[in-house]
Amino acid sequence: MTKAHVLGFPRIGAQRELKFAQEKFWRGDIDEAALTKTGADLRRTHWAWQHEAGLDFVAAGDFAWYDQMLNTAVLLGAIPPRFGFDAQKLTLKQYFELARGNAAQPALEMTKWFDTNYHYLVPELDAQTRFDGGVDWFFYEVDEARSQGHQVKPVLIGPLTFLYLAKSKTPGLDTLSLLGRIVPAYRRILEKLAARGVEWVQIDEPILALELPQAWLDGFAPVYREFSQTGLKLLLGTYFESVADHAALLATLPVAGVHLDLVRAPQQLEPFLAQWPADKVLSLGVVDGRNIWANDLTASLATLQHARAQLGNRLWVASSSSLLHSPVDLEHETALDAELISWLAFARQKLAEVANLKRGLTEGVSRISAVLAASDAAQASRRSSARIHQPAVQARVAGLQARDAQRFSAFAVRQPKQQAWLKLPPLPTTTIGSFPQTAEIRAARAAFKRGVLPEAEYRAAMQAEIRLVVEKQERLGIDVLVHGEPERNDMVEYFGEQLSGFAFTRNGWVQSYGSRCVKPPILFGDVARPTPMTVEWSQYAQSLTAKPMKGMLTGPVTILQWSFVRNDLPRSEITLQIALAIRDEVVDLEQAGIRVIQIDEPAFREGLPLKKRDWLSYLDWAGKAFRVSASGVADETQIHTHMCYSEFNDILPAIAALDADVITIETSRSDMELLAGFGQFAYPNEIGPGVYDIHSPRVPPVDDMLRLIRKAAEVVPAERLWINPDCGLKTRGWPETEAALATMLDATRRARAEL
């Protein structure tokens, strides 16, 4: 029979209940019983929602006290021996120590889950790892859901994905070599599920969406042959990209079904239909697990009906991926207007979409005529709304010429023109933008937003802060100053609030890692900049000093990357709209006398597609968008950019193609190793490698910074080298900030003396 299901549900709770309980538990404000009760209540609610919506299964095993990969590790009993924990008797407190570190041991490393903003904990495996089984929380949750009367589909991360994403702690050991050991562990887990009478189990192997080495692909058939002996029906979950390259493999794999993400990769349906065997289920993910748009039910139904003609009851209806990446419940968005609400669906609303699609498919569209009509009306209003479509914006993007994405002259011509007026000393010093965001600053901003602090007073408070920051920088002897960003809550929200086409939710939180959640703005319409956004602050800051003041903007790619983005335009085009808005701001800053302007792109690398073969096209449009934002100014105006991630040696040509006059990057934690690539590649423009880590309050001794500067000077000629911290200082306190910057200036003076 055709089934309706989701691949997983967010665990944080509609009001972030899990986050608050976790943090109280960590602080010692509540005990373990209170925390576990919060978790159980959330699971009960989320299962009830899935059941009431009309899904055929509830997903169990998708809950985690911190992270799903860590959960898999503790289920398998594969926890790093360095902690000295007994895997079979692991306590919740110890679980959190694995996730967050303890006095003796640093936490497991954390990294991004594919191309999402969710971060998982990286399992540590070595030649001795045994997978002898760990705690039975997973089974407890499956039983709990069953005891609440639900048809349960347990969800597991598959063995190949688990091993692929894990890190080998034994030099030379490939985690794939542990496959023979991990498979029996999975088999025991599956047998326990079979013994409970579970029928279907979802095993996620999202690595199939990557360009996998053949040795890993070869692992699938033997592993799943072994699993098939448990008698369970296995649904292999894939998502986030096309797995069409592996259609033949998946068609012959001994599993009962495969799930496809048709939101990210609708084009993969045909290759699968063309060869799908008569005995296998195909689960089609047509409801977006990662975005907030209401489904176009009519369009989805057409796709499903087409597939059903061939698959019949072997077609299942699903979310594209786990709903983990969606906010929880739209019901709480009381501040958004009705029209906007009609365009949106959060996780809870997506449950109903999936269930309705199945109903329409199997019982006839007349059964869902009311929801179809509402869906059609919402789609029609999105297609025609003047809030979304601004012909002038579209015309501007369409009219972009090659010269708009290029500075007037080449860097070699610009550099002397900039030096002529900047008259900077060798090894010029600067900072990345923000200065400590004190409690007073935050309180003033919040009071202004609530309407209790009059605008004039708010402005005066921010100006006082800017004055303070300028004075401190002058006293320290920094060469290119910043205003400190006191007016910004967040580097995307601040701009989104002033651009057309953005909306903000009250409670649209999505888990980023552990108890951390983010609330991305919703980019729903054409983006334009009605009025200047930062000019007033930068101009005020410049009026206080004779030194050059650096304007501070967030770049188009980062604004795109950190928002929920409309799905009715290509990302490349949306980014160009944002780029033009930023370009207008850059030009206005220049006109206001701000002739050093930084356009931050910390999320530039994050946007890279999952498949390397798609990288070039991304780098091409993303780079073009950056250059459009930066190229409206004269040669004399110096454009900086900032990126705070490691590892960009593999995209250096694209970084160079941004053609920023100066790029500041995070390097101190890699001991300048990162710069080596810049040297080898002969990166042509100026570079400011961070000389100290801003993530810790520690003030490094001057010799440390001097050593890093010398190391940088071996790779980058001194004429092109800047001195700065790794990133912005907003999370730091003033005492360590001043001490660290004074040390940085001291180190710079010594380095200059050595030139």
- Out of 72, 94, 238, 434, the only residue in the binding site for ligand GLN (CB under 6 A) is 434
Number of amino acids touching ligand GLN (CB under 6 A):
13
Binding of residue 491 to ligand GLN (CB under 6 A): yes
Residues near 310 by beta carbon (within 8 Å), at least 6 away in sequence: 273, 276
- Contact track, ligand GLN, 642-681, x by CB under 6 A: x-x-------------------------------------
With tokens 């919703």, the residue in question is: 522
- Out of 432, 453, 481, 565, the only residue in the binding site for ligand GLN (CB under 6 A) is 432
Given ligand GLN, Zn ion, none, residue 67, with its beta carbon under 5 to 8 Å by kind, binds: none
Question: What is the smallest separation between the CB atom of 567 and Zn ion, expressed in angstroms?
Answer: 29
Burial of 753 (0-12, 13-18, 19+ CB in 10 A): exposed
Question: What is the smallest separation between the CB atom of 604 and ligand GLN, expressed in angstroms?
Answer: 11
714 among annotated binding-site residues: no
Number of Cβ atoms within 10 Å of the Cβ of 31: 11
- Residue 477, both tokens: 């002897």
Residue 574 three-state SS: helix
41 among annotated binding-site residues: no
Binding of residue 727 to Zn ion (CB under 5 A): yes
Binding of residue 732 to ligand GLN (CB under 6 A): no
- Residue 139, both tokens: 């089974």
- Out of 285, 433, 496, 514, the only residue in the binding site for ligand GLN (CB under 6 A) is 433
Choose the binding region for ligand GLN from 426-434, 458-466, 499-507, 564-572 (rule: CB under 6 A). Answer: 426-434
Question: What is the smallest separation between the CB atom of 724 and ligand GLN, expressed in angstroms?
Answer: 10
Binding of residue 644 to Zn ion (CB under 5 A): yes
Question: What is the smallest separation between the CB atom of 488 and ligand GLN, expressed in angstroms?
Answer: 8
- CA distances to 437, 478, 732 from 699, rounded to whole Å, are 18, 18, 11
Given ligand GLN, Zn ion, none, residue 351, with its beta carbon under 5 to 8 Å by kind, binds: none
Pick the closer one to Zn ion by CB: 596 or 644.
Answer: 644
Judge whether 284 and 307 are in contact, CB under 8 Å. yes
Residue 681 three-state SS: coil
Pick the closer one to Zn ion by CB: 644 or 663.
Answer: 644
Q: In terms of DSSP bridges, do strands 315-319 and 4-5 run parallel, antiparallel, or are they unpaired?
A: parallel
Question: What is the smallest separation between the CB atom of 474 and Zn ion, expressed in angstroms?
Answer: 24
Judge whether 527 and 393 are in contact, CB under 8 Å. yes
Residue 580 three-state SS: helix
Question: What is the smallest separation between the CB atom of 450 and ligand GLN, expressed in angstroms?
Answer: 24
* Candidate list 306, 332, 389, 695, residue with the active-site label: 695
**Any idea what DSSP says for residue 397?**
H
Choose the binding region for ligand GLN from 134-142, 386-394, 428-436, 739-747 (rule: CB under 6 A). Answer: 428-436
Residue 172 three-state SS: coil
| Residues 25, 27, 33: CA angle, nearest 5 degrees | 20
Name residues contacting ligand GLN, limited to 604-643 (CB under 6 A). 642
- Out of 532, 688, 725, 728, the only residue in the binding site for ligand GLN (CB under 6 A) is 728
- Out of 600, 659, 661, 726, the only residue in the binding site for ligand GLN (CB under 6 A) is 600
- Contact track, ligand GLN, 526-565, x by CB under 6 A: --------------------------x-------------
Binding of residue 727 to ligand GLN (CB under 6 A): yes
- Residue 726, both tokens: 């790794």
Binding of residue 520 to ligand GLN (CB under 6 A): no
Report the residue closest to Zn ion, judged by CB: 644
- Residue 709, both tokens: 């500067």
- Out of 154, 730, 744, 745, the only residue in the binding site for ligand GLN (CB under 6 A) is 730
Given ligand GLN, Zn ion, none, residue 501, with its beta carbon under 5 to 8 Å by kind, binds: none
Pick the closer one to ligand GLN by CB: 168 or 434.
Answer: 434
433 among annotated binding-site residues: yes
Question: What is the smallest separation between the CB atom of 296 and ligand GLN, expressed in angstroms?
Answer: 35
Edge-first strand order for the sheet with 522-528 is: 500-503, 522-528, 564-565
Number of Cβ atoms within 10 Å of the Cβ of 731: 12
18 among annotated binding-site residues: yes
Judge whether 645 and 682 are in contact, CB under 8 Å. no
Kindly write down the DSSP assignment for every residue of 315-366, as one continuous string. Answer: EEEEESS-GGGS-S-GGG-TTS-HHHHHTB--HHHHHHHHHHHHHHHHH-GG
Name residues contacting Zn ion, limited to 253-312 (CB under 5 A). none
Question: What is the smallest separation between the CB atom of 571 and ligand GLN, expressed in angstroms?
Answer: 21
What is the dihedral sign for C-alpha 379, 384, 388, 394?
positive
Question: What is the smallest separation between the CB atom of 428 and ligand GLN, expressed in angstroms?
Answer: 17
Binding of residue 280 to ligand GLN (CB under 6 A): no
Pick the closer one to ligand GLN by CB: 322 or 638.
Answer: 638
Task: Please report how the helices 179-195 and 137-147 are oriented relative to each other, as an axis angle in degrees rounded to 10.
Answer: 20
Question: What is the smallest separation between the CB atom of 547 and ligand GLN, expressed in angstroms?
Answer: 18
Of 673, 755, 666, nearest to 718 by C-alpha is: 755
Torsion of CA 394, 398, 402, 404, to 10 degrees: -30
Q: What is the C-alpha separation between 619 and 611, in angstroms, rounded?
A: 13
Question: What is the smallest separation between the CB atom of 640 and ligand GLN, expressed in angstroms?
Answer: 10
Residue 165 three-state SS: helix
130 among annotated binding-site residues: no
Pick the closer one to Zn ion by CB: 80 or 433.
Answer: 433
- Contact track, ligand GLN, 61-100, x by CB under 6 A: ----------------------------------------
Helices (H), 531-634: 535-543, 556-561, 571-591, 615-630
Give catalytic status of residue 695 as yes or no.
yes
Pick the closer one to Zn ion by CB: 362 or 489.
Answer: 489
- CA distances to 288, 594, 658 from 405, rounded to whole Å, are 33, 21, 10
Report the residue closest to ligand GLN, judged by CB: 728
- CA distances to 22, 25, 71, 116, 117 from 120, rounded to whole Å, are 17, 21, 10, 10, 10
Of 79, 40, 57, 14, nearest to 237 by C-alpha is: 57
At 552, give phi and psi (nearest 5°).
-140, 110
Binding of residue 602 to ligand GLN (CB under 6 A): yes
Of 294, 291, 283, 345, nearest to 7 by C-alpha is: 283
516 among annotated binding-site residues: yes
16 among annotated binding-site residues: yes
Name residues contacting Zn ion, limited to 572-631 (CB under 5 A). 602
Judge whether 640 and 663 are in contact, CB under 8 Å. yes
Binding of residue 599 to ligand GLN (CB under 6 A): no
205 among annotated binding-site residues: no
270 among annotated binding-site residues: no
Binding of residue 597 to ligand GLN (CB under 6 A): no
Q: What is the C-alpha separation between 285 and 7, in angstroms, rounded?
A: 9
Binding of residue 552 to Zn ion (CB under 5 A): no
432 among annotated binding-site residues: yes
Q: State the binding site for 5-methyltetrahydropteroyltri-L-glutamate.
A: 16-19, 112, 117, 516-517, 562, 606
Residues that are catalytic: 695
Binding-site ranges for Zn ion (CB under 5 A): 602, 644, 727
Binding-site ranges for ligand GLN (CB under 6 A): 432-434, 485, 491, 552, 600, 602, 642, 644, 727-728, 730
Q: State the binding site for L-homocysteine.
A: 432-434, 485, 600
